[in-house]
Amino acid sequence: MSDTAQSFPTRVDISLTVNGEPVDARVDVSRHLVDFLRLDLGLTGAHAGCEHGVCGACTLQVDGEIVRGCLMLAAQLDGAEVWTVEGLTETGALADLQAAFVERNALQCGFCTPGMLFAAADILAQGGQPSRVAIREHISGNYCRCTGYEAVVDAIETVAGARARGEEVSA
Amino acid sequence: MKAAAAGYIRANDLPHAISLLEQSRGEARILAGGQSLIASLNLRLAGETALIDINGVAELSGIELVGEQLRIGALTRHRELASSDLVARHVPAIAQAAPLIAHAAIRNRGTIGGSLAYADPAAELPACMLALDAQIVVRGPAGERRVRAGDFFVDLFTTDLAEDEMIVAVEVPVAVAGERQATMELARRSGDYALAGIVLVDRPSGVRAAFFGVGPTPILATGAMAAIDRGASPDEAAALLEGDLQPLDDVHAPAAVRLHLARVLLRRALAATRS
């Protein structure tokens, strides 16, 4: 490694918000976002699964868009707004989805569930009543090894219908 | 596993990014969307490299019509390609390709410049550039140059980029009157890399068919293209693909399956552009 490459900082200061709370941290540049949340902030809702972007268990929201938490580095988050399942549970933004997942038994071990909820919320945010094919396509990047997906699609479809009709779904 | 990055700097602007690249003498890489690079770092396949983060470089974003070309900034995300009216109107092959790339969460981050620089032979956008005869705009310490897509993809994961150069944009000729385009692929699961894919650009002046997933780079099927231009039937053109493509056996599919799928795709794409 040359002197020039060594002059690249290996720790970086970041200032961001996580679930609406301001966070200032000095992070190792190799730290990915999920480990930063889980190990440094104690927010274990986003799960570290494959850690190369395939399984979707780490899916969460950065600046209003769903992303793979394992495919962003914490160092990239200066100025970012991050939301995890803990935060959106507290605000109630996912309450109807979470209730439908429980109702339809759309989880067994639950490992995929936080990521699945973010993928589901993302297609629901587009509004209207998506087809089952469109729902399947939208959650195709989130692996569930328990349910076979039918119940997950059922739950998302149910919530889409309820939201389209303007119904309240209590948690 | 966990990433092994040797260092990280946010580039403030394009000259800053290029100067960091030059100073690093090949030991730093450009971090754009990171959807392949960070995965490679996590898997420890990319070595311990320093990173120059260009996500804050505003001049690399944006899609604009410049004369007869659509200029797409290197940092344009796949999601933006999928939703852009300019892309849908002027280069529909790219609008059709974008939703085929991975999954929503990855399309939100992944960039066109990153995809082209990575040069995965099964990726959609390199084949789009080849079929559309786009130019890749590349900048380094010596200034800017333009490389035709046909000269840019050199080999498996290997491009014409020098170690101190980066992609700043692509310039894609816009569709002319009567032109039809089709991008299609066949994959085992939605969002997987394609077993085979095609980008067909069907211009009144002649057809260009680029295939992906069937060789070390995207490949122009020149034999089949010439036959189609001579008036050959889709079946006759598809039969010529054996001479145009060099698929390899791998764990996902034997070469013969990929060749078969390429033939299916050529017939389907022609049916779409000539219906």
Q: Where are the domains positioned within chain B?
A: 5-53, 61-173, 180-273
Selected from 3.30.465.10, 3.30.110.40, 3.60.21.10, 3.30.365.10, the CATH number assigned to the domain covering B61-173 reads: 3.30.465.10
Considering only the beta carbons, identify the residue of A10, A32, A65 that sits closest to B7. A10
Selected from 1.10.8.870, 3.10.20.30, 3.40.630.30, 3.40.50.80, the CATH number assigned to the domain covering A9-88 reads: 3.10.20.30
Q: What is the pLDDT of residue A6?
A: 55
For A162-171, the CB contacts below 8 A with 24+ separation are A162/A96, A163/A96, A163/A124, A163/A127, A164/A127, A164/A128, A164/A129, A169/A95, A169/A96, A169/A99, A169/A100, A170/A95, A170/A99, A171/A92, A171/A95, A171/A96, A171/A98, A171/A99
* B159: enclosing H helix or E strand: strand B158-159
Q: What is the pLDDT of residue B9?
A: 97
Query: Which two three-digit tokens encode residue A155?
Result: 């739950």
Q: Side chain identity at B185, as an amino acid letter?
A: E
**Per-residue pLDDT for chain B (275 aa), expressed as one digit of tens each?**
788 888 999 999 999 999 999 999 989 999 999 999 999 999 988 778 999 999 999 999 999 999 999 999 999 999 999 999 999 999 999 999 999 999 999 999 999 999 999 999 999 999 999 999 999 999 999 999 999 999 999 999 999 999 999 999 999 999 999 999 999 999 998 888 999 999 999 999 999 999 999 999 999 999 999 999 999 999 999 999 999 998 999 899 999 999 999 999 999 999 999 98
Q: How far apart are CA A128 and CA B253, in angstroms?
A: 39
Q: How far apart are CA B108 and CA B104, in angstroms?
A: 6
Instruction: Give the model's confidence band at A3: pLDDT under 50 very low, under 70 low, under 90 confident, else very high.
Output: low
Q: Are strands A11-18 and B49-53 parallel, antiparallel or unpaired?
A: unpaired
Q: How far apart are CA B188 and CA B89, in angstroms?
A: 30
CA distance A164 to chain B (A): 22
Q: Side chain identity at B73, as an amino acid letter?
A: G
pLDDT in tens, A113-169: 999 999 999 999 999 999 999 999 999 999 999 999 999 999 999 999 999 998 865
Considering only the beta carbons, identify the residue of B10, B23, B31 that sits closest to A4. B23
CA distance A137 to chain B (A): 7
Q: Report how many Cβ contacts below 8 Å link chain A to chain B.
A: 124
Q: What is the pLDDT of residue A7?
A: 85
Query: Which two three-digit tokens encode residue B47?
Result: 């070595």
Considering only the beta carbons, identify the residue of B8, B10, B104 that sits closest to A122. B104
Q: What is the pLDDT of residue A1?
A: 46
Q: What is the pLDDT of residue A170?
A: 52
pLDDT in tens, A4-63: 555 899 999 999 999 999 999 999 999 999 999 999 999 999 999 999 999 999 999 999
CATH number given to B180-273: 3.30.390.50
CB neighbours of residue A28 within 10 Å: 18
The residues of A whose Cβ lies within 8 A of any Cβ of B are 1-2, 4-10, 12, 29-32, 35, 51-53, 56, 59, 65-68, 70-73, 75-76, 78, 118-119, 122-123, 136-138, 140-142
Which residues, 6+ apart, have CB-to-CB distance to B143 below 8 Å? none
State the fold for domain A94-164: DNA polymerase; domain 1 (1.10.150)
What values do phi and psi take at B264, rounded to 5? -60, -45
Residues of chain A with CATH 1.10.150.120: 94-164
Q: How far apart are CA B137 and CA B144, in angstroms?
A: 7
CA distance B22 to chain A (A): 10
Residues of chain A with CATH 3.10.20.30: 9-88
Quote the ipTM score.
0.94
Burial of B57-76, coded b for 16+ CB within 10 Å and e otherwise, reads: beebbebeeeeebbbbbbbb
User: Which chain B residue is nearest to residue A140, measuring alpha carbons?
Assistant: B190
Q: Exposed, middle or buried by CB within 10 Å (0-12, 13-18, 19+), for B2?
A: middle
CATH number given to B5-53: 3.30.43
Q: What is the pLDDT of residue B17?
A: 97
Q: What is the pLDDT of residue A168?
A: 63
